[in-house]
Amino acid sequence: MTDAPIRYRPHHFLCSLGFQGKGYSDEFTANMASIVLGRLRAPGGDDTPIQVVGATDDICAPCPKRRGTLCESQDSISRLDTRHARALGLFAGTELTWGEAKRRIVKRVPPGSLSTLCQGCRWLEFGLCDSALNALHDEARLTSEEG
């Protein structure tokens, strides 16, 4: 396992939370699975370092919609990134771990807010991210009740 930070654009924090093995292409899905399942959700994954970037990132690398450091849907992606960066208090250059990112999500993204925060995302209608956000909040609530 490498200690090099994963490079993430702001909206990919919540995408990673909701990821369930679906993507834009087989290569994209395999890459995202490697990052999300192989690193972030693996044992010790909460310690994985992440660096926020303002353009395409490690998730985008094999995306068929990638156009250099941009996306063929750049306007929509920029709007998502702007809303997510604002909601999570992130900016290009921010460094944090996956565990810190999850705590930030719990603190700053309430259940039911994704319809606004993720407006325009084609994955929103599947409810995967809403379910994952609710589960994260439930887990945090249980942890705080136990502690």
Residue type at 114 in one-letter notation: L
C-alpha closest to that of 89 among 142, 10, 1, 26: 10
pLDDT of residue 1: 46
pTM check: above 0.85? yes
Token look-up 């944090």 returns 96
Each domain of the chain, given as residue ranges in start order, spans 6-146
The one-digit pLDDT tens for each residue of the chain (147 residues) are 457 899 999 999 999 999 988 777 788 889 999 999 999 999 999 999 999 999 888 988 877 677 777 677 778 888 999 999 999 999 999 999 999 999 999 999 999 999 999 998 888 898 999 999 999 999 998 888 876
113 three-state secondary structure:
coil
